[in-house]
Structure 1
């Protein structure tokens, strides 16, 4: 760019900027915004490491008194005030959403066209999604992630990330699942949050670099816990629960592998029994 006169020096530019801001503050023409939930986007996203205790509560009013550094709670059911309360106590907060199934009880249920709804996933009011239809599902999931970001969450747990291994009513392939899971991970990262891979053990070698941590259910019950080792080797936390296996059985395995494990009841209320 050509200048008609000599361009200002760095010192003079800074002086002019400071003078302008000061004048604006004195005259009321410049305002300083309040802190917002998006402030955490200005720093590097959170990356939980192995050895991080956690609480997973998806039902009932969230008990914010559990002395752990990480909470995983329902994104729809909890307000920004709950997230702020946890942040004030020094906790990181994960936003649970369902990325693989339609839910009749969510406020955005009407955004899903009937053509992407498959068979029941075994839970009342839920149906598998046709994850091949990424152009249809992308804006719906993006809106859910915008909600997580607006409420101030630090990370996202997108559930049902292994639809291709289930009887969904659609001819889903491993390639379909990889493409969909990477789309979700990219959408989360674009919003400055961390993202966890939920189960989907068979695809961990392909996805460990796309996700910041893992969330697993029942790897001890099904003798699958070593499959999570790539996350631990990458210095990424594995948040793990068991429902029926006794702690005396799975805790030694979890400690040997570096998993952050606890026993929970299937309803995922406040009760927890950590290793």
Structure 2
């Protein structure tokens, strides 16, 4: 998940080479030729991550990560025309009261707040309820033409969710989300969940990490780099001179962003 911000902040098909990627089977997949056709970004691929404000499509990078609900097919197509791959941000581990499908989530699966206004952890054990809801969200991403999915809030078992979630519950749910994305022909990234990377690296096509430098965790992403899969990384509080050298050595795709994830960025 996006790490909670301080309370004051809460006021608030292009060319593969251009996308710095390779087509290669995902190690944990059983979908044969479909895996070979999926986009998989390689280490060091530059990216832009914008989830708020008017979308700035002028950033000269091969990968954009944008909100799946807020942007339509035309936006994705325009980014494709500019030679970019586009990642669909959706929350899969937390409920958001501002989404158009919010009323479809029964109260029984809604847990404690996750530190962001209007958001509550989901009971990921209830896959009979959540699987069809998440399938609809990923259908939306596919229908809009996204190349990949960034599922957020994928480490509830490490947080105070209001449910007795275990590591096994999280592994089962994260693999379900990965399968739903792959079944729709899209790549999928593992968001944070560092402790389970060794078990999940074969199921995911890239990683998305927040603040691993601030917390001394960046080396834990190494299994993705060893598998020739990109690690898209952001810091919010450290200046670039504090982490970019290490990021380059580790081959992370790193940049400094503001907590609100608007268009501003300072890349390594």
Please state which band the TM-score falls in when normalised by the shorter chain. 0.7 to 0.9
Residue of structure 2 aligned with 1:175, choices 146, 168, 171: 168
CA RMSD of aligned residues (A): 1.1
After the TM superposition, which residues 62-211 of structure 1 pair with which residues of structure 2 at under 5 Å, given as runs?
A: 62-211=55-204
Count of aligned positions: 235
Counterparts in 2 of 1:111 and 1:42: CA distance versus 1, 3 Å: same
Counterparts in 2 of 1:43 and 1:248: CA distance versus 1, 3 Å: same
Report what 1:12 is aligned to.
none
SS at match of 1:208: helix
After the TM superposition, which residues 220-239 of structure 1 pair with which residues of structure 2 at under 5 Å, given as runs?
A: 220-239=213-232
Write the deviation string for residues 28-50 of structure 1: whole angstroms up to 9, x where unpaired: xxxxxxxxxxxxx8981101001
Name the CA distance, whole Å, in 2 between partners of 1:43 and 1:94.
18
Residue of structure 1 aligned with 2:253, choices 226, 250, 260: 260
Name the CA distance, whole Å, in 2 between partners of 1:132 and 1:169.
12
Name the CA distance, whole Å, in 2 between partners of 1:222 and 1:193.
31
Report what 1:242 is aligned to.
235
Counterparts in 2 of 1:225 and 1:43: CA distance versus 1, 3 Å: closer
After the TM superposition, which residues 214-225 of structure 1 pair with which residues of structure 2 at under 5 Å, given as runs?
A: 214-225=207-218
Q: Tell me: higher relative CO, structure 1 or 2? Use CA pairs within 8 A at least 6 residues apart.
A: 2
Name the CA distance, whole Å, in 2 between partners of 1:108 and 1:174.
28
Report what 1:24 is aligned to.
none
Give the structure with higher Rg (CA).
1
Name the CA distance, whole Å, in 2 between partners of 1:42 and 1:209.
12
Q: Which runs of 5+ in 2 are unaligned?
A: 1-33
In the alignment, structure 1 residue 271 sits paired with structure 2 residue 264? yes
How much does 1:111 deviate? Answer: 1.0
Name the CA distance, whole Å, in 2 between partners of 1:184 and 1:220.
27
TM-score by length of 2: 0.87
Name the CA distance, whole Å, in 2 between partners of 1:246 and 1:271.
14
Name the CA distance, whole Å, in 1 between partners of 2:55 and 2:145.
16
Write the deviation string for residues 63-101 of structure 1: whole angstroms up to 9, x where unpaired: 111000000000000011100010000000000000110
